[in-house]
Structure 1
Amino acid sequence: MSVAKTRRRPRSWVGWREWVGLPALGIEAIKAKVDTGAATSCLHAIHVRRYRGPEGERVRFQVHPLQRRTDITVHCDAALLGDRVVTSSTGHRERRLVVRTPLAIAGRRFAIELTLTNRDSMGFRMLIGRRAMKGRLLVDPGASYLAGAADSEAPRRQLRSP
């Protein structure tokens, strides 16, 4: 009896923090914490507004992609998947909107679900949770930027954005 083997792409090694891109949202570079303690991924979002478009429910929001910088803003628009109650590490429960968008990391691109929340007081504007990593990424908790540094021009381009 033969067992059919499925071809799987090898998982990529990443550090506990990485530069990533969210190309469909217009975010070329954002520093993300790769958080194995979080089930869901989340993105810093402000001025979040749901609306009905011709193809269904959507959400508009703004992102400050660079840590400790509020002068750079990326305006985003995405199809709304729905909402979800998320419990933080401190036990705080919050209902968040959920979008699905491609994530670019370690030379790979794959779709992930992101919850939207205000992370102004947090050190990272984005968290990559276990659901996004499963079968794709392996984490070395003692390393940073194993996937490579950000394109040196990406943060500069975002700084020049209106």
Structure 2
Amino acid sequence: MDSPEAFCVTGLREWIALPDLGVVGLRAKIDTGASTSALHATEISEFERDGERWVRFNAHIGTLVQRRHRCEAPIVTRKTIKSSNGQAQARYVIRTLLALGERAWPVEFTLTCRKTMRYRVLLGSKALVDGRLLVNPAHAYLLNKPQILTSPGAQ
């Protein structure tokens, strides 16, 4: 069994950054009941680059004032996800670096419209295991905001 020192305790909500996408200042909901992580994305379109499948999309940053940030990432796969209300949806899956507190590791995200949801990012159990995180649901924002500079493409 791993020693407790190897793990980091997180709250139910935390600030994250996605540095490879040039995105910083996203509030994420930690969801141990979800296997896969999800990122709010709109205007999603697939394209080819150097013989590989990529996806282009807008990530949405901010809570009161929404800013769109155009992103591109290689496609890992397409996956059918069943939401908590039982609806099945085919989604693109990307893999990108996640920064949370002092840690950073690659995480797979499905791209989906979460505009009706309070949090633009949902961190699922696979990301928690890979990041060696323990969740204390009695707290929120236990970790410092990641200090990652955004790219000049943010709108």
Structure 1 segments, 4+ long, off by >4 Å, are 5-9
How far 1:67 moved relative to its partner?
2.5
1:43 matched to 2:39: yes
Tell me what 1:133 maps to: 128
- Does the CA-based 8 Å contact 1:23-1:102 persist in structure 2? yes
For 2:65 and 2:2, locate their aligned partners in 1 and report how far apart those are by CA, in whole Å: 45
For 2:139 and 2:123, locate their aligned partners in 1 and report how far apart those are by CA, in whole Å: 16
Q: CA RMSD in A?
A: 2.5
How far 1:62 moved relative to its partner?
0.3
Partner-residue secondary structure (3-state), 1:73: strand
How far 1:82 moved relative to its partner?
1.0
For 1:14 and 1:32, locate their aligned partners in 2 and report how far apart those are by CA, in whole Å: 11
TM-score (norm 2): 0.89
- Does the CA-based 8 Å contact 1:14-1:106 persist in structure 2? no
| Residues 81 and 87 of structure 1, relative CA distance in 2, 3 Å threshold | same
For 2:135 and 2:4, locate their aligned partners in 1 and report how far apart those are by CA, in whole Å: 18
The residue type equivalent to 1:30 in the other structure is L
- Does the CA-based 8 Å contact 2:101-2:146 persist in structure 1? no
Question: Larger % of strand: which?
Answer: 2
TM-score (norm 1): 0.85
1:110 matched to 2:105: yes
How far 1:79 moved relative to its partner?
0.5
Tell me what 1:22 maps to: 18
Which has the larger Rg?
1
Structure 2: which 5+ runs fail to align? none
